[in-house]
Structure 1
Amino acid sequence: MVVEASSGVLQGFYTPLFSDIADKLAIHDADINWLEATQLLLSAIVLPVLARLGDMFGHRKVLIGSLIVTALASYALAFSTSFPVFLIAWAIQGFYVVWLPMNVSIIHSRARNLPNGAALTRRGAGIIVVALQAGAILGALAGGQLGVMAPLWVTLLVPAVLVTIALVVVIFKVPDPGVRGGGSIDTRGTMVLTLALLAITGGLSLLRYNGINAWVVAMVAIGAALLWLFIKVEQRSDDPLIDISMVRRPEPWPVFLTSALFGVSVLGAQGPLSTFARTDPAEVGYGLGLDSANASYLIGAYVVSLLIGAAVFSKASTVWTPRLVLIGASALVAGGYLSLIPLHHNFVQVLACMMVAGAGSGALVAALPAAAAAAAPAQHTGIATGLTNTTKTIGGSFASSAFAIALASGVTATASGEESTAGSLSGYMTVWAICGVTAIVAMVVLFTVPKVAFQANDPSRAEGDGLPAASAVPDAVALSSDAALPSAAAEQEDKS
């Protein structure tokens, strides 16, 4: 919980400060999206590798390593004074993306030998996601308040200190569940995937400077071809980075596609939300004109709605199937963002729309990794849960690049006639429309999932993969305390 609370702080703390960071680095508001795009791109590249390393050598070891890297990058952010240095440190900080899948994998490994292990994993995922969202709330509020009270570099030190504390807690308090999958790293597949993502993101970045041209089309086409090649390489690999046969199963592939579509809004749209709230309507005719302190209340309320969605996910999935919960959550995301198109003129309207979208987003954040873990072979839970974050970050990275282009197009002049550094209103509407439409597509995709998916562990999967069935796992990987996860009896009580 401490790790996910720290992750939440990282995800919430900087958001009210984006306009201040843009001023410090002397960049356009739209360029904030390139920070997000770069971090998400690196996250998408390293996450499958780290997830594979977690399955091979232990999820706890990978968790500790990623905490160290994230802490160092967070300290670098506080002392960076140029955009390139800040951009590099911001990208490297994205190693925190592996924390949630590693934590879910640790929970799953410790719950496998208990009755209703899949339900316990879902419930455990809900608990740590609540901690994540609580951290994001506190982070957003603290970041906004400190932003008007202290120098920016002092304010930016706070997340670095919290990540350091989380590292100490994991080292001394989190036991190793002892589950290993063996295998090796698919270097060839990693290189092809990296080149594919770089080509597509690079092509999108060129749109801002020259519009659609032959270079843009060529780079995106090369990226798409490399993604096709990546799939072929993985199919022929004895130890693939991503098990394509697993991805193609009827239960997990809609989850992974939903994660990619969900990443568009939950990751790509956070920068635009902050900069819209900070935009002064007296200068450009739109925006809320909030300072960092007041913007933190809007962002904090949004994250509260994520927390509520995450908290009710486990209960809702015992009343309805997890599949229906995923569909309903996607509908809330779609409704919230599409409502912003006509309702963005004051604080109350934006708050109401974002809380609707946030409730659905919170449920999806908790549901998707747990659904992937329940649908995956026992020795690939790290890869499966990691792949939900990988696809989510890929979706967020591409969306952030597209949003940066949209916000920079049609920039409005200020009241004094000078060119504004604010994003354009048409750009913000484009952002909200894309977020809503992708959520609707996710709903359609989820209707293809079998109705009884993700509801129980399948012991035969473990046996077929060369691992003992859940009931035969040694006591060493059993849950060591009731504090870590609710008991099976409690879960049965909830169902009754």
Structure 2
Amino acid sequence: MARAVASTPARPASRAVVTPGLLLALLAYVETSSGVIQGSIIPVLPAVGERLGVDAAGLNWVNICQLLSSAVCVPVLARLGDRHGHRRLLRLTVTLTALGTVLVALAPTYPVLLVGRVLEGTLSVWLPLEFAIVRDRLPADRSGPAIARLTGCLVLGVTLGTLAVGLLARLSSDPRVLLALPAVLTLVCVPVVWRWVPESDRRAAPARPDLPGAVLLTLGLAALLVGLAQGSHLGWASVAFAAFMALAVVLLGTWAAVELRSTAPMVDLRFTCRRDVAPLYLAALGIGVALFGTQSAMATFNAADPGLGYGFGLGTIGVSLITLPTGISQFAGAWLHPRAARSLGAARAVAAAFLLAAAGYALLAACHAAIWQVVLATVIAGIGVGAVIAGLPVMVVAAADRADTGIASGVYQVARNVGGSTAGAVFAAVMTALPAAGATGRPSAGAYVTIWLICTALLLLGAALLATTPAAHSRD
């Protein structure tokens, strides 16, 4: 990011002494809670819609509101954290998210549910803010592994959230009971962050807010994400979908031009285009596809009636259980990545993880007739994906100025989310275009194989991108 001189104020007196180990444990709890929130909402949405009388189209907007809120909040709040204090913004967003989880759980009406989801969107900036705090407060040799493991806690939380609501559903079908779990976990995060998480010292140089950049980026991402989310309803070949995509291109292109001319841009595009950084952001798009884009496809494949020629006919609990090894393997990959990075070097370790993930998806495309085959393939892919999502942000953070850690990792987060959103839309189109013979509205086995092969190709491209970075030619 911009290499402006950052101020370093005196460290304020802390109300509690927090050791590096305790700080990591506290933030690990916060990120696991974030994952539980994200993993628990999707399985419960049908029950929420039934309780509030909302149809499938209305429930789609429940997810769109969260996506839009995330797209707006991550770059804006990450930059504010760099300039005004990362703990200050983490406190704000944790409090807003806690309020959102309560509103989502208890929502008496559809509009209240949407407000809750908008507030929950602020949790997407937690990781960038935490990365900045960790980088500032932990010794240099511990900050990288800590960042990797916080990412692992997030993916583990997603899996635990999905599994937990599936098990709770056997005791109660009331969505208010099911969504009480993420609400309680997040409410506990509020005193944790306010009482024990220390403030970072580094600050970006004072500057006027980049309002034009913030507005253009917000509108551009909104047009892109809404268009992708509504593509199946609008029609992929419709004028409306094309208009959304054209508007996104115009707005984001204008935003890029404005940022390049600004003396204090919200996002320093010259930094993002550096030879050692651009491949990381491009690779983030690819790993977003593998991490987020295949979630719905895997769930529908495992739940499909075997009479279609594929699938296992699993119910909600069965689908949750078959995905549990994937989440655990992603967590293991993230936890083990620091050791691989010490042995191979950061770039080589991430490139190797991309190759392992690609091998897992290739195996899945070739062998998926039995549950054990699917579990084996997704565990292999999960270890690779977990290591990638742990290692990429460490490299991004290391390349950025300390005072710009928040926005650098925030842009990475946005890139990964955009990759997942794009993949979700593309894969939905693939499943529509390749229907099963004699089963209206059901995708064929070939549709799933196509999706897994797309993931394989993008993961191989990610490995190639990492090989182009200067770090790939050293062991540092």
Could you say which TM-score interval applies, normalised by the shorter chain? 0.7 to 0.9
Gap runs ≥5 in structure 1: 457-496
Residue of structure 2 in register with 1:403 after alignment: 427
1:235 aligns with 2:260: yes
Residues 423 and 156 of structure 1, relative CA distance in 2, 3 Å threshold: farther
CA shift at 1:427, angstroms? 4.3
Residue of structure 2 in register with 1:356 after alignment: 380
Paired letter, 2:191: V
Residue of structure 1 in register with 2:104 after alignment: 77
Paired letter, 1:140: T
Residue of structure 2 in register with 1:432 after alignment: 452
Alignment of 1:476-495 (within 5 A): none
Paired letter, 1:6: S
Paired letter, 1:445: L
CA shift at 1:319, angstroms? 0.2
1:162 aligns with 2:188: no
CA shift at 1:58, angstroms? 0.8
Residues 302 and 147 of structure 1, relative CA distance in 2, 3 Å threshold: same
Q: Output the CA distance in 1 between the equivalents of 2:410 and 2:474.
A: 17
Q: Output the CA distance in 2 between the equivalents of 1:412 and 1:32.
A: 26
SS in 2 for 1:64: helix
CA shift at 1:191, angstroms? 1.4
Residues 163 and 401 of structure 1, relative CA distance in 2, 3 Å threshold: same
The correspondence for 2:418, drawn from 345, 369, 394, is 394
CA shift at 1:21, angstroms? 6.2
Q: Output the CA distance in 1 between the equivalents of 2:474 and 2:133.
A: 18
1:64 aligns with 2:64: no
1:220 aligns with 2:240: no
CA shift at 1:87, angstroms? 5.7
Residues 33 and 310 of structure 1, relative CA distance in 2, 3 Å threshold: farther
Contact 1:15–1:271 (8 Å) recurs in 2: no
The correspondence for 2:298, drawn from 261, 267, 273, is 273
Q: Output the CA distance in 2 between the equivalents of 1:14 and 1:163.
A: 14
Contact 2:220–2:249 (8 Å) recurs in 1: yes
Q: Output the CA distance in 2 between the equivalents of 1:70 and 1:424.
A: 39
The correspondence for 1:344, drawn from 368, 371, 375, is 368
Q: Output the CA distance in 2 between the equivalents of 1:405 and 1:27.
A: 21
Cα offsets for 1:222-276 (capped at 9, x unmatched): 3223222211110111221111111122211111111122111212222322233
Alignment of 1:202-221 (within 5 A): 202-204=226-228, 205-206=230-231, 208-221=233-246
SS in 1 for 2:470: coil
The correspondence for 1:177, drawn from 194, 197, 200, is 200
Give the count of matched residue pairs.
445
The correspondence for 1:377, drawn from 388, 401, 409, is 401
Paired letter, 1:102: L
1:147 aligns with 2:166: no
Residues 310-319 or 378-387, more deviating? 378-387
Paired letter, 1:165: V
Residue of structure 2 in register with 1:484 after alignment: none
Paired letter, 2:363: S
1:132 aligns with 2:159: no
| Higher RCO (CA-CA < 8 Å; seq separation 6+) | 1
CA shift at 1:362, angstroms? 0.9
CA shift at 1:407, angstroms? 3.7
Residues 157 and 50 of structure 1, relative CA distance in 2, 3 Å threshold: same
Q: Output the CA distance in 1 between the equivalents of 2:329 and 2:435.
A: 32
Q: Output the CA distance in 2 between the equivalents of 1:340 and 1:263.
A: 18
Aligned-residue sequence identity (percent) comes to 32
Residues 298 and 217 of structure 1, relative CA distance in 2, 3 Å threshold: same
Cα offsets for 1:290-341 (capped at 9, x unmatched): 2222222222211100111011111110000100111111112222223333
Residues 386-395 or 31-40, more deviating? 31-40
CA shift at 1:197, angstroms? 2.0
Contact 1:6–1:159 (8 Å) recurs in 2: yes
TM-score by length of 2: 0.84
The RMSD of aligned alpha carbons is 3.0
Residues 175 and 304 of structure 1, relative CA distance in 2, 3 Å threshold: same
Residues 309-318 or 406-415, more deviating? 406-415
1:251 aligns with 2:267: no
Residues 285 and 452 of structure 1, relative CA distance in 2, 3 Å threshold: closer
Paired letter, 1:139: G
Paired letter, 2:370: N
Residues 74-83 or 160-169, more deviating? 74-83
Residue of structure 2 in register with 1:188 after alignment: 212
TM-score by length of 1: 0.81
SS in 1 for 2:293: coil
Contact 2:43–2:166 (8 Å) recurs in 1: yes
CA shift at 1:187, angstroms? 1.3
Residue of structure 1 in register with 2:137 after alignment: 110
Q: Output the CA distance in 2 between the equivalents of 1:274 and 1:86.
A: 25
Contact 1:33–1:404 (8 Å) recurs in 2: no
1:120 aligns with 2:142: yes
1:313 aligns with 2:337: yes
SS in 1 for 2:317: helix
